[in-house]
Amino acid sequence: MPLTHFDEEGRSRMVDVTEKSETVREAIAEGFIEMAPETLQLLVDGKMAKGRNVFEVARVAAVMAVKQTHNLIPMCHPLQITGVDVYFTTDKEKSKVDIQVKVKMAGKTGVEMEALTGVSIAALTLYDMCKAVDKNMVMGDIKVMKKTGGKSGTYIREQ
């Protein structure tokens, strides 16, 4: 399948979705941020110096990022997002926070980039809010887990 963000001469372009059918689109992306066990405990206990509920700051940042993806990724279309859910799950055994962002809308193009951007910014926000006590945090494994809608149909990542 050819790359659609380039024309026949190799010039970059925004894909024309004018003639595409509008369908309900949903994407779920996930990632994580690892940290020292002491940092995770401070985060869970609401004892970070920058605020008691760091998770809510990161949740709002993720929602804002989803809505601004077209301003950050050059070939993304501005979208009328109709729903964003952000979930954090702490894993004390692995000393990390798992992040999941689910994005939904009805439109002519998918929302995978928006979900991935939401996860990335949530992780970066957690880093920012916790870096005073732990500069060794690691973010990673950011990926699309599921996507529905559109001509290509449903995609579910195999674990």
Mean pLDDT over the full length of the chain: 93
CA distance 106 to 147: 13
Query: pLDDT value at position 137?
Result: 98
How much is the pLDDT for 18? 87
For residue 156, the Cα-to-chain-centroid distance in whole angstroms is: 16
Predicted pLDDT at 3: 56
- In the chain, where are the structural domains located? 23-148
Rounded CA separation 55/22 (Å): 34
Strand ranges for 6-158 from DSSP E:
23-34, 83-91, 96-107, 138-148, 155-156
Q: What is the per-residue pLDDT across 78-132, written as a single tens digit (0 to 9) for each?
A: 999 999 999 999 999 999 999 999 999 999 999 999 999 999 999 999 999 999 9
Is 128 noted as a catalytic residue in this protein? yes
What is the reported pLDDT for 73? 94
128-134-136 Cα angle (round to 5): 95
9 pLDDT higher than 70: yes
Whether residue 61 contacts residue 122, with contact meaning beta carbons closer than 8 Å, is answered with: yes
Catalytic option among 85, 98, 128, 134: 128
pLDDT number for residue 40: 97
The domain 23-148 belongs to what CATH superfamily?
Molybdopterin cofactor biosynthesis C (MoaC) domain (3.30.70.640)
Which residues, including other chains, have CB under 8 Å from residue 33's CB and lie 6 or more apart?
Answer: 96, 97, 99, 123, 126, 127, 137, 138, 139
- As a whole-number percent, the residues of the chain with pLDDT over 70 amount to 98
